[in-house]
């Protein structure tokens, strides 16, 4: 699955000036290189010890600080990680991964505005730093600024056409703007890179549904279900598409599955009411409209009105 709220960060250059390290076994660079090698092999404790040694020899060593901060972050110590990233930025203003990692840490905590500030500092140093553009675009999206998000994501894609997250979030912005054709093209690009990106499949199906292409939407929802057996939203959207396309038998089967997976969802119960109404089973339709009304305070009046309309059509009060 493609993670809709994930960010690209944790940038660490593991290959560092090998020629300069030849024959040097007690320099800060030597311990950094050892730590990087151990980290790439999954030996975090040994790597951390070597980064500590590098920093004992050179207190303001941005590469070692960033690497150590990344390990602290993996271990869940975000406070220590942030301190190391900030020290790296202060001691090596041109070391770009420190900015990206600090921004990623802030994004994980929902601090998108502050993340934008760090990423903007990195882009002032290197305007075509693709990871900074990607993360700043994602941050702008989270802040609700689709104009800025699309601008950054478009440049990021020009620099790196394999950024799935950039295509996906640009598509979400295009959907907000009702530019369905552009949104579908971007979701197609995601799926060309990663055919198993379930969240992109789900979004593409919903776009097709919004455009009235119910038959075209159903296969996308079905593919999502095949990727994950208990994906209740995909089952719901498949049932809704089938209902709108006139396949009430298939719609009923999938709506019942969706309601079983998520019995507390008013929408799912309401859809069952609509399907039973289309099948002329007014008793069952009324039962599910009342159930939906009881599950959602916000939509209670709507479903009660649906129930009342059923009773009126049947000549009941």
Higher pLDDT, 26 or 90: 90
CB 108 within 8 A of CB 81: no
CB 133 within 8 A of CB 149: no
At residue 272, the 3 state secondary structure works out as helix
User: Is residue 21 over pLDDT 80?
Assistant: no
What pLDDT is recorded for position 274? Answer: 97
Question: Residue 144 CB: number of other CB atoms within 10 A?
Answer: 10
Report the chain's terminal Cα–Cα distance, integer Å: 49
Going along the chain from its start, the domains and CATH numbers come out as 1-109 (1.25.40.10), 127-193 (1.25.40.10), 195-262 (1.25.40.10), 276-317 (no CATH)
**Is residue 17 very low, low, confident or very high in pLDDT (cuts 50, 70, 90)?**
very low
What pLDDT is recorded for position 246? Answer: 95
**Is residue 26 very low, low, confident or very high in pLDDT (cuts 50, 70, 90)?**
confident
Supply the Cα-derived Rg of the chain in whole angstroms: 26
What pLDDT is recorded for position 92? Answer: 73
| pLDDT tens digits along 112-143 | 999 999 999 999 999 999 999 999 999 999 99
CA angle 278/284/289 to nearest 5° reads 85
| pLDDT tens digits along 188-233 | 999 999 999 999 999 999 999 999 999 999 999 999 999 986 799 9
Type and span of the H or E element at 64: helix 62-74
User: What mean pLDDT, rounded, does the chain reach?
Assistant: 91
CB 159 within 8 A of CB 133: yes
What pLDDT is recorded for position 223? Answer: 95
């Amino acid at each position: 699955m493609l993670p809709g709220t994930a960010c690209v960060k944790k940038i660490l250059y593991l290959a560092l000036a090998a020629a300069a390290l030849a024959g040097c076994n007690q320099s800060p660079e030597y311990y950094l290189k050892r730590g990087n090698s151990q980290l790439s092999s999954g030996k975090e404790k040994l790597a951390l010890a070597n980064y500590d040694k590098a920093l004992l020899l050179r207190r303001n060593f941005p590469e070692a600080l960033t690497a150590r901060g990344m390990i602290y972050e993996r271990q869940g110590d975000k406070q220590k990680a942030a301190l190391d990233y900030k020290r790296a930025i202060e001691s090596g203003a041109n070391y770009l991964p420190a900015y990206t990692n600090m921004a990623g840490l802030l994004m994980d905590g929902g601090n998108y505005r502050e993340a934008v500030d760090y990423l903007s500092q990195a882009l002032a140093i290197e305007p075509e730093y693709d990871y900074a553009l990607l993360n700043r675009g994602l941050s702008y999206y989270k802040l609700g600024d689709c104009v800025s998000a699309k601008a950054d994501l478009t440049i990021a894609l020009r620099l790196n056409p394999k950024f799935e997250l950039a295509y996906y979030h640009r598509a979400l912005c295009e959907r907000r703007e009702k530019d369905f054709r552009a949104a579908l093209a971007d979701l197609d690009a995601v799926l060309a890179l990663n055919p198993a990106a379930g969240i992109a499949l789900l979004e593409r199906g919903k776009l097709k549904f919004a455009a009235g292409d119910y038959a075209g939407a159903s296969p996308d929802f079905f593919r999502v279900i095949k990727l994950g057996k208990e994906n209740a939203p995909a089952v719901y959207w498949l049932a809704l598409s089938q209902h709108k396309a006139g396949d009430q038998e298939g719609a009923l089967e999938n709506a019942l599955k969706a309601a079983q997976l998520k019995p507390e969802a008013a929408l799912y119960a309401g859809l069952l009411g609509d399907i039973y109404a289309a099948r002329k089973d007014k008793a069952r339709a009324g039962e599910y409209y009342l159930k939906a009304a009881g599950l959602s305070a916000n939509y209670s009046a709507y479903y009660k009105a649906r129930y009342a309309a059923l009773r009126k059509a049947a000549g009941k009060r």
